[in-house]
Structure 1
Amino acid sequence: MKKILLVCFSFVFVISAWAQERVVSGKVSSSEDGSALPGVNVVLKGTTNGTVTDANGNYRLTVPASGGTLSFSFIGFATKDEVIGDRTVVDAALAIDARELSEVVVTGQGFGKEKRALSYAVAGVNADALAARPVNDVGRILMGKIPGVTINPTGGTSGTGSQINIRGYSTITGNTQPLWVVDGVPFSSATNDASGFTTGGTASATSRFLDLDPNAIESINVLKGLQATVLYGDQGRNGVIVVTTKSGSKKKRAAEINFQQTVAFNEIASLPDMQKNYGNGFQQLTNTAQFFSNWGANYREIDSVGHPYQFLTDATRRDPFARQFMFKRIPYEYSLDLGQFFRTGKVSNTSVSVSGGGEKMGITATIGYTNEQGYAPGNDLKKINASIGFNSSVTDKLSIASSLMFANTDFSTPPLNGATGGGAAFGGVPSLYANFLYSPPNYNINNTDLFPYETPVDKKMVWYRSGSDIPNARWIAAYAKETDVTDRIFNSTSLTYDFNDHTSLVYRAGYDYYTQRQNRSFNKGLSPTYAVIDQGVLQTQTITNTIWNHDLIFSTNRNLTSDINLSARLGGNARNDFYQRDGLYSEGQIVFGLLRHSNFTTSSSRSNAFGGRIFQYNQESQRYGIYTDLQFDYKNFLYLNLAGRNDWVSFLESGNNSLFYPSAGTSFVVTDAFTDIKSKALSFLKLRLNYGTSAGYPSPYNTRTIINSNARGFVTAAGGVIGEHTLSNNLGNPNLRGEIIQEVEAGFEAKFLNDRITLDFTAYDRGTKDLITDASVDPATGFTNTLLNLGKLSNKGVEIGLNATPVKLSNGFQWDVIWNFTSVRPKVITLGAGIDQIVLAGFTDLGNFAVPGRPMNLIKGTVVARDPNGNPIVGADGFHELDPIIGELGNPNPKYLTTLINSLSFKGITFSIQFDYRKGGKMYASTPSALLARGVLAPESVLNRDLAFIAPGVKRVDTDGDGVNDGFAPNDIMLTAADYGFNLQFFGRNNNAMFDATNIRIREISLGYTLPRQLLSKTPIKAASISLTGNNLWYFAFGAPKYVNWDPEVASLGVNQGLGFDYLTGPSMRRYGAVLRLTF
């Protein structure tokens, strides 16, 4: 009986308890775009009763019958409370917490830190700034958007590299490009220039960050100072660009599909305005041999001239091809439209990403295809990008995250070697633009019926010069090409074990591998002037580069006292780099058009026409390091950061191969320490100060004298192999040490008017000692040079970033302003005893130099000789004499760079325009100087050809009648307009080719519209937007001669040290297009 009563009592108790509870359910979404939010914490307030939303944002939770309040919280969104009441369905829309997102940034080794705690400057861009642009080069998207970062394209050709410089220069012989880190793993951004040209690279070389897909990137943060980059050791000395991909992000994502389609067009940005009064010739005369310049007769004076092909001197070109032009007369008139040579390149980019997951797992996959034509014929870029990534909680303590990326990049272009406008391009290699821009205006290169560019049978090049010594650009575009095809695999995988809420251990492994196949080819028949290339040449080169990177990081976060918190990390890193290069060079083409090495008479593993490089080269290096990062937090307003790294490297000898880089910094949030000063006028103020160090190491194999072994030095037509073994010209230095780089940085961050204005100011002073210097050695030793630790370098700068919202109305209209300012002052302090200068890029008589006491990258070259009073000296021929010693031509470093971005938004409509301004900096520019000297510019910018001219200066005179010129008198030697313009504008006098590079441009303009969600509510589309954009639509160079339309934003010497040179590597490009984005 007691058992029966007990069972009945229990039954009644259960029914009573059940009657006091009920189940509520609902869906949690983003208030911004309505997308479902998985992994949101849903907790009954005041209890531990809770759950998380599933992959579709849905949840179910048992709550008391009386209801209560549900609290919805998720990283990156503002927490929201909902009273249950008598509802059984409780939905919630969470708003993005802009304050929370802005406070956490990705820093060294991928650690997320509160921005308020950082003692150094950091800046970045988000996915929207990257994806909504019709630009496929991540580097060029960043132009002007981050203070302290300077980006110069090597030319206007699609796919060519970009020179990226962060806070100036810290070395004179080493790499100056920043480290790229993708999902926590180093990512090679090398150019691997195939030419062997020793001037910093070529304009056609690609940068390997081109392999990245902008549409697959979640965010980019740029670490600029040495304290910010200390955890990367010497690899971070030039700054670090930290890229987080969507597949590498650990964010939990709702199930959705994102589609993006870009259609754009590439055009040449500008061409010179041509004069239409004078034709080819000199001294206002025409000539059957056809002059190289355009100082010929006035069109009014001559009706017609003989066709230039009837005067060809090469018999193989003249007979029988040129006979059809015998006695043929053609009108002597302006007929050339340079623009017809170029095309409007079409660009298409398609990208699709799929994301989803559940409570403990998220996954994202992206695939994209790019097909881009440049404005130049033969310039094309094709890319295939695919990536997949996931993050998963294996257990409550163990989680794994991995991202895998594949890229295929196919780039092709006509040759773009630098040239001065005086004939062939550098190294005797023809270039598309070397002579094109000053083509004779009375010979229309685009009229291939009247002016064929090849003989019909053997395809030999023909053009207006009787000796066929000027390449026809159409022949170059058709039969000369450079290609670069790269296949790349990249992976980042990390395992995280959480011992408890405040202690964890992370192991991260990274793998970056690519194979790069480079071809350079010229079919035979170019010109007898180019002795080797005229026979036909083919160069193929294969490069494989592998990086294995491993990190093991222990992290803990503890409260030492009630006021002091410690966040500590201790890590170890191992990085192995493997580089291998092999190739083959052949000359003597047998069958025109067949570009296989078997179709050439001679082959070798040393390049002949392209710089003499030996192809066979293997390089291996190792770095092992340990690092620590300690952050002390006092009451959330005073922070002390101590960090350091010790590296052991394989490319220095024992005793010099270990180096420790310490750093320290503090951040003080004044408005939190002294709350009385906090107001609407000043809502936030933080002061920061830090000290950081790093190092610069030489490339491997410089501490020991090595033998160059080339097993396949020459291969005969019969297949015989001849090897060669030579002692290196470089004398090894076993005492070589790493460069020591130190930096002090100070700054502040302030917010005014309720965060409507944000100001970030930074000043820094960086110095490098023990510069690794390439010093000459007495040739009697059997060597020519060696590396020594000599000299010091100084680099000071200021960076300012201003964000403001001048207008924000209740109806949704908002005006935002971004202003960035960068000023860098690099200076060479000393170079060591006996060394007065070092060539950094270019040539020994014209290039960038390091000179003690002068700005870094000083341009030096030939200058006009001057008398003791500084007057130019004029020779007996009426031309300025040259000083036998080269002199300073100018400082290529700009005084400052500034960017202004205005953005307007109203009810889904957005408009943005970006202006960039560069003040100062000198450039040696072949484009304007060659156009002036060759006499092709509009009449207002050239001389009156009917007058005589006198060169300014003094001439040498005999003052005492002894027959010796021993004094000077004002010059009175008259010159024709042709002699004056041709000889005094450019040739032989480098100082006349110097121009001020000050310029302003519209870098970017965009107009976008996002459809209201209400219009899409009954469709499978969650969000839709379209934007129209344009890049480099307008610019003005203040120092350019009128009618040249010259763009000084070019780095013709490649992406490394060279600065301030324009070597006719092609006009800049403008782009306009549309981007459609859909979310399902």
Structure 2
Amino acid sequence: MMKKHVKLIGELFKPLLKGLLSLVVVGFSLSATLAQERVISGTVTDENNEGLPGVNIIVKGTSTGSITDFNGDYQVSVPEQGSSLVFSAIGYNAQEIVIGARSVIDVTMDINVEELEEVIVTGYAVQQKKDVTGAVAVVKKEDLIALPQGNVANQLQGRVAGVTVTGSGQPGAQSKVRIRGLSSFGNNEPLYIIDGIPGAIETVVPEDVENISVLKDAGAASIYGSRASNGVVLITTKKGREGVQINFSTYTGVQYPGSGPDNLLNTQEYADLQWLVYGNDGTDETHPIYGASSNSSPSIPSWAGDTDWFDETTENAAISNYSLSMSAGTKSSSVFASVNVFDQNGTIRHQDFQRVAGRINSSFDILKGRVKIGQNLNVSNIKQPNGFSNLNEGNAINSVYRNQPIIPVIMTQSVTGIVHDYVPGEYGGTGIAARLGNNGNSVAALDRNKDNTYSKLELIGNIFAEIEIIDGLKLRTSYGGRMSNDYYSNYSFATYENAENTATPSLSEGANKYSEWIWTNTLNYSTDFGQSSLDVILGYEALEYGISRGLGASRGGYFSDQYSFRTLNNGATITGAGSYFGTSTTLASAFLRADYSLSDKYLLGATVRRDGSSRFGAENRYGIFPSVTAGWRISEESFLAGNSILTDVKIRGGWGQMGSQTNVDPANQFYQYGASTSSTNYDLNGAGNASVQGFGAVRIGNTSTEWEANESTNIGFDAGLFNNKFEVVFDWYSRQTTGLLYAPELPATFGNATAPTINIGSISNKGVDLQLIYRDDWSNGLSFEGNLTLTSYKNEIVAVADGVDYFDFGGSRIGTFARNEVGYPMSSFYGYEVAGLFQSDGDATASGQDGAEAGFFQYKDNDGTAGISDEDRAHIGNPNPDYTYGLNLMLGYKQFELTAYFYGYQGGDIFNYTKWWTDFWPSFQGQKSTDLLNNSWTPTNTGATVPKASNNSNFSTNGVANSYYIEDGSFSRLRNLQLAYNLPASTLSSMNLTNARIYIQGVNLFTFTEYTGLDPELGGDDRAFGIDYGNYPLAKQVIIGLNVSF
């Protein structure tokens, strides 16, 4: 697999690498032939006479240049015609220095106070950081570089206080991002805005990102109205800059699946466990594989394997990323273009993901700068396997717990099985003998399904124009959107090796297309008068999304499995066919925002937005969402003048309302009717040989549904201490969501009609966000930066519906155990509390508990009545963490940088559902745990916590959900460890490069946790999360990378 991958990468990038090498060779050749060139060197320092890294040096009138290294040193080759050097850096005034006869030029840069004021992208505009009064967090491109990842969402993990990101080890899977808890029974995903256009974060190439702003409270986000109830993530991609620069970055490495479950049995141990069960139950019988139970030990047949299904299912896998970009511009124009190829093989066999993307952003000033026109466009194409799901009971990881070790992956000898006569070289399976269960050979399934695929081509972009009508008054219009086409193909092979097989092969195939558009118009006015400044933005926006069309079909009865034969035409029988039109949603909105500053100390902001949505009936179509914010830059007050500790302190607060219509179906207000041969056709004439088409309700309409309302309050402060070496950002917030949108279950009398979405209860979230930053440049080229983020929230369901205090969600073989109830957090685990194990049959009988006997669970009697019943169930776990944190540490020494990044959860329970398979003998005829063999209850091991190994399956063993499955999900993970080296200026100059950085990096190297499952970082539906069904674990990675600019 690795050799094939490397060969493929080599073929794919051979032309690109040849081109890059050619550029380098040309650069060296030019250096050799320009005999009249001379080398200028020197040091660039700041106002404190300390070396200043990252300063650009350009020979005026040419594209020749260099950049200062970590110590501020540089070297640049100056052509004969070169007469002066231009030094420039962000936050400093540019300087032009005449060369003359000098060979050494040292420069001290002067601070540009206005430029040093950090600018933050907020709703439809930008603000200086000092003027922001909402809860806004920024992640810069420098922070993203420190954690190379295949998707942007993973790079947010632990970087922003108040943002919880749950990753997945599955290549191409999107991480789960939540801002300040859970506020809805439906969709809690934030709104992603990419260069002003709503989009999907997974389409964004990390190398293209300039910065990310996260709007966390209503004061910051309410300008986006109904789409912003879960927060907003604003992604700004890179733009061209003056001059020409080419950047190439790459990393490649190996992923390791890590060790699998360490408590599963081998074949001999499994047979010994069977003998233990016989002994505990007092059973005397002959096992179809191991022989008579009266024997002193079980016999192992010659065909038996000793299979570690985790090892057989997983493998080391390659990962690589290649990104090439070009930035070019003049004072009146700019262009940025990039291409990216990301390839991640799965640590589960054949679960590979590929993404190819390209971007071009451009802008042009015309009419003496009064008019700017431009565009942003991103094109991406992804390809990945179709069909893997963490929540699918038969997925490859779950099968690790369901396949017995005795089953060989590949047969090594002939065996007459119960459903098939096996020969060497065939797949082994549960059809070899009785009592092997009915699970499929997961390796065989992965091998057969390797050609099942899903691909998606997506475009997102916009065109825009800005007109400066008069000084301070600017009109901007932008029209953009998204469109995508996807395709899927699933071929199901006939199987022979399993106890339950697929008799005939089949093919399902289909395609979908999707589009949306958005037109945004804003009028922005900025002015200063006296000691006051005012910024006002007035806007109108219209958009339509969900414009879709799809079709699919399936056929069976294929007589050949050859790939070229897998077309719908070749199937003998039609098993399904259909197409659809999606119901789109339209929004029309008007908004107004004003920000006022007095004396650069007293700040006031106000926003109001009115949204109209086609998802609601006429009487409830429009919603109004206001917010107000205020700030006080107390450090600017005269009574703190000269204070050496409080450099820059701002106290801020805000209140606002937002709405949501996300969880409402576009057709919710309408009654809909449809026809079905099986349910609406009628034999009206009674002849019994014909039917007449009829129609039935397929959706119950509701015109009374209203906007889900989200009200939030935020109080916080930003503090820069000791000349901003130490920064503290703190926020306390309260969010109350009322009129929750939810589709309840309908009585059976409604038939198959879909329930309407209605407004029901409310949810409360309260919490704190904390960020601590310390940075300092020590002597002798040594520097340090530490960044700690802490997120803590308390989620509580305040109300569900009139007369209803809870609802359960999700199902399993032991019923539903995720309960959403008033007074508790969402997705609380619900079941029986295990008080211990019965120590005698007498105690078990006296308890009145159904199925009780010595060694079985004894449940806590919570209602005080005789026996154990449904009323004794209780809340047994909470998957919401007490807090999450991220800690980033960076130590720099001259050209070297060492970065360590930790991420973790404290608190938060996990329902380890895999125990149902492994810790109870009768659950399933699959794999079992060493705990059941070695640590379960016996008359001589009465202190055990694992119940007795028995063939009895009932209420007191594995029949119901209980606290035995609950484990502490706390963990701390070394998410990233990177050692980087930045080439010095002298080396860069000799290679005609402006920047070069090489690094080696380890990802997910260590995880410290008491959790016994594969990985404590779990996703899932917000109404039932924190459940381990056998999820795709995060892989360890070791990669090497290179960033080059010239």
Same fold (TM over 0.5): yes
Partner of 2:446: helix, strand, or coil?
helix
Match of 2:195 among 183, 205, 210: 183
Matched, 1:873 2:849: yes
Matched, 1:1025 2:997: yes
Partner of 2:604: helix, strand, or coil?
strand
- In structure 2, do the counterparts of structure 1 residues 982 and 1018 end up closer, same or farther at CA, with 3 Å as the change threshold? farther
- Most deviating of 595-604 and 694-703: 595-604
Cα deviations by residue, 1:897-941 (Å, 9 ceiling, x for unpaired):
112211101111111111222111122122355333469677578
> Could you tell me how far apart the structure 1 residues matched to 2:367 and 2:295 are?
85
> Could you tell me how far apart the structure 2 residues matched to 1:733 and 1:414 are?
35
Corresponding residue number in structure 2 for 1:6: none
Cα deviations by residue, 1:215-274 (Å, 9 ceiling, x for unpaired):
12111121111221112111111111111112xx3x524311111111021211331224
> Could you tell me how far apart the structure 2 residues matched to 1:494 and 1:28 are?
43
Matched, 1:217 2:232: no
Matched, 1:523 2:493: yes
Corresponding residue number in structure 2 for 1:471: 440
Partner of 1:278: helix, strand, or coil?
helix
> Could you tell me how far apart the structure 1 residues matched to 2:699 and 2:773 are?
52
Corresponding residue number in structure 2 for 1:546: 515
- In the alignment, residue 913 of structure 2 is paired with which amino acid? S
- In structure 2, do the counterparts of structure 1 residues 88 and 479 end up closer, same or farther at CA, with 3 Å as the change threshold? closer
> Could you tell me how far apart the structure 2 residues matched to 1:406 and 1:1032 are?
30
Structure 1 unmatched runs, 5+: 1-25, 39-51, 59-69, 190-208, 307-328, 420-424, 607-613, 715-721, 954-970
Corresponding residue number in structure 1 for 2:1042: 1076
Cα deviations by residue, 1:790-840 (Å, 9 ceiling, x for unpaired):
2121111110001012x5312121121111100111111112212222345
- In the alignment, residue 655 of structure 1 is paired with which amino acid? E
Corresponding residue number in structure 2 for 1:383: 355
CA contact (8 A) 1:33 1:1022 kept: no
CA contact (8 A) 2:513 2:550 kept: no
Partner of 1:232: helix, strand, or coil?
helix
Corresponding residue number in structure 1 for 2:135: 121
1:1071 deviates by 1.6
Corresponding residue number in structure 1 for 2:569: 598
Cα deviations by residue, 1:714-737 (Å, 9 ceiling, x for unpaired):
9xxxxxxx9987544542111111
Cα deviations by residue, 1:99-156 (Å, 9 ceiling, x for unpaired):
95562111112x1101111112222322233345442121112211111111113x42
- In structure 2, do the counterparts of structure 1 residues 622 and 951 end up closer, same or farther at CA, with 3 Å as the change threshold? farther
Cα deviations by residue, 1:306-331 (Å, 9 ceiling, x for unpaired):
2xxxxxxxxxxxxxxxxxxxxxx257
> Could you tell me how far apart the structure 2 residues matched to 1:979 and 1:643 are?
66
Structure 2 unmatched runs, 5+: 1-39, 45-51, 67-83, 279-284, 681-690, 837-842, 860-867
- In structure 2, do the counterparts of structure 1 residues 28 and 77 end up closer, same or farther at CA, with 3 Å as the change threshold? farther
> Could you tell me how far apart the structure 1 residues matched to 2:778 and 2:848 are?
64
- In the alignment, residue 371 of structure 2 is paired with which amino acid? L
1:860 deviates by 3.0
CA contact (8 A) 1:1001 1:1035 kept: yes
Matched, 1:266 2:232: no
> Could you tell me how far apart the structure 1 residues matched to 2:489 and 2:427 are?
22
> Could you tell me how far apart the structure 2 residues matched to 1:945 and 1:828 are?
38
- In structure 2, do the counterparts of structure 1 residues 947 and 523 end up closer, same or farther at CA, with 3 Å as the change threshold? same
Matched, 1:241 2:233: yes
Matched, 1:462 2:429: yes
Q: Note the 1:99-118 alignment, pairs <5 A.
A: 100=115, 103-109=118-124, 111-118=125-132
> Could you tell me how far apart the structure 2 residues matched to 1:415 and 1:289 are?
35
> Could you tell me how far apart the structure 2 residues matched to 1:136 and 1:725 are?
51
CA contact (8 A) 2:673 2:696 kept: yes
- Most deviating of 1027-1036 and 624-633: 1027-1036
- In structure 2, do the counterparts of structure 1 residues 105 and 868 end up closer, same or farther at CA, with 3 Å as the change threshold? farther
Match of 1:572 among 540, 549, 553: 540
Matched, 1:166 2:157: no
Corresponding residue number in structure 2 for 1:718: none
Matched, 1:832 2:798: no
- In structure 2, do the counterparts of structure 1 residues 939 and 737 end up closer, same or farther at CA, with 3 Å as the change threshold? closer
Partner of 2:300: helix, strand, or coil?
strand
- In structure 2, do the counterparts of structure 1 residues 445 and 671 end up closer, same or farther at CA, with 3 Å as the change threshold? same
Partner of 2:250: helix, strand, or coil?
strand
- In structure 2, do the counterparts of structure 1 residues 986 and 976 end up closer, same or farther at CA, with 3 Å as the change threshold? closer
TM (normalized to structure 1)? 0.78
> Could you tell me how far apart the structure 2 residues matched to 1:219 and 1:723 are?
62
- In structure 2, do the counterparts of structure 1 residues 29 and 945 end up closer, same or farther at CA, with 3 Å as the change threshold? closer
CA contact (8 A) 1:1008 1:1028 kept: yes
CA contact (8 A) 1:836 1:851 kept: yes
Corresponding residue number in structure 2 for 1:231: 223
- In structure 2, do the counterparts of structure 1 residues 915 and 982 end up closer, same or farther at CA, with 3 Å as the change threshold? farther
Cα deviations by residue, 1:325-349 (Å, 9 ceiling, x for unpaired):
xxxx2578x5647425421111121
- In the alignment, residue 379 of structure 2 is paired with which amino acid? F
Corresponding residue number in structure 1 for 2:454: 484
Matched, 1:411 2:424: no
Corresponding residue number in structure 2 for 1:324: none
- In structure 2, do the counterparts of structure 1 residues 711 and 29 end up closer, same or farther at CA, with 3 Å as the change threshold? farther
Q: Note the 1:792-803 alignment, pairs <5 A.
A: 792-803=762-773
CA contact (8 A) 1:573 1:626 kept: yes
> Could you tell me how far apart the structure 1 residues matched to 2:640 and 2:612 are?
50
CA contact (8 A) 2:197 2:480 kept: yes
Corresponding residue number in structure 1 for 2:660: 696
Corresponding residue number in structure 1 for 2:977: 1005
CA contact (8 A) 2:412 2:423 kept: no
Matched, 1:991 2:963: yes
CA contact (8 A) 1:337 1:444 kept: no
Q: Note the 1:15-54 alignment, pairs <5 A.
A: 32-33=53-54, 35=56
Matched, 1:157 2:170: yes
- In the alignment, residue 415 of structure 1 is paired with which amino acid? F
> Could you tell me how far apart the structure 1 residues matched to 2:1032 and 2:1005 are?
17
Corresponding residue number in structure 2 for 1:740: 709
- Most deviating of 907-916 and 854-863: 854-863
> Could you tell me how far apart the structure 1 residues matched to 2:1040 and 2:425 are?
45
Matched, 1:659 2:635: no
> Could you tell me how far apart the structure 1 residues matched to 2:466 and 2:875 are?
57
- In the alignment, residue 627 of structure 2 is paired with which amino acid? S
- In structure 2, do the counterparts of structure 1 residues 1021 and 813 end up closer, same or farther at CA, with 3 Å as the change threshold? same
> Could you tell me how far apart the structure 1 residues matched to 2:543 and 2:677 are?
30
CA RMSD of aligned residues (A): 4.2
> Could you tell me how far apart the structure 2 residues matched to 1:567 and 1:270 are?
57
Match of 1:494 among 445, 450, 464: 464
Partner of 1:130: helix, strand, or coil?
helix
Cα deviations by residue, 1:148-207 (Å, 9 ceiling, x for unpaired):
111113x4221122211111122113x2111111111111x3xxxxxxxxxxxxxxxxxx
Corresponding residue number in structure 2 for 1:13: none
Partner of 2:582: helix, strand, or coil?
strand
Corresponding residue number in structure 2 for 1:45: none
> Could you tell me how far apart the structure 2 residues matched to 1:801 and 1:591 are?
63
- In the alignment, residue 184 of structure 1 is paired with which amino acid? G
> Could you tell me how far apart the structure 2 residues matched to 1:216 and 1:713 are?
53
- In the alignment, residue 405 of structure 1 is paired with which amino acid? N
Match of 1:363 among 332, 335, 345: 335
Match of 1:753 among 701, 705, 722: 722
- Most deviating of 728-737 and 445-454: 445-454
> Could you tell me how far apart the structure 2 residues matched to 1:416 and 1:888 are?
28
1:505 deviates by 0.6
Corresponding residue number in structure 2 for 1:960: none
- In the alignment, residue 825 of structure 2 is paired with which amino acid? P
Cα deviations by residue, 1:453-497 (Å, 9 ceiling, x for unpaired):
996799887346536722111111112355220101111222111
Corresponding residue number in structure 2 for 1:507: 477
Matched, 1:683 2:647: yes
- In structure 2, do the counterparts of structure 1 residues 589 and 216 end up closer, same or farther at CA, with 3 Å as the change threshold? farther
Partner of 1:228: helix, strand, or coil?
helix
Q: Number of paired residues? A: 928
- Most deviating of 857-866 and 219-228: 857-866
CA contact (8 A) 2:1000 2:1040 kept: yes
CA contact (8 A) 1:541 1:615 kept: no
CA contact (8 A) 1:1024 1:1079 kept: yes
1:746 deviates by 0.5
Corresponding residue number in structure 2 for 1:930: 917
1:949 deviates by 6.9
> Could you tell me how far apart the structure 2 residues matched to 1:257 and 1:789 are?
54
- In structure 2, do the counterparts of structure 1 residues 985 and 896 end up closer, same or farther at CA, with 3 Å as the change threshold? farther
Corresponding residue number in structure 1 for 2:70: none
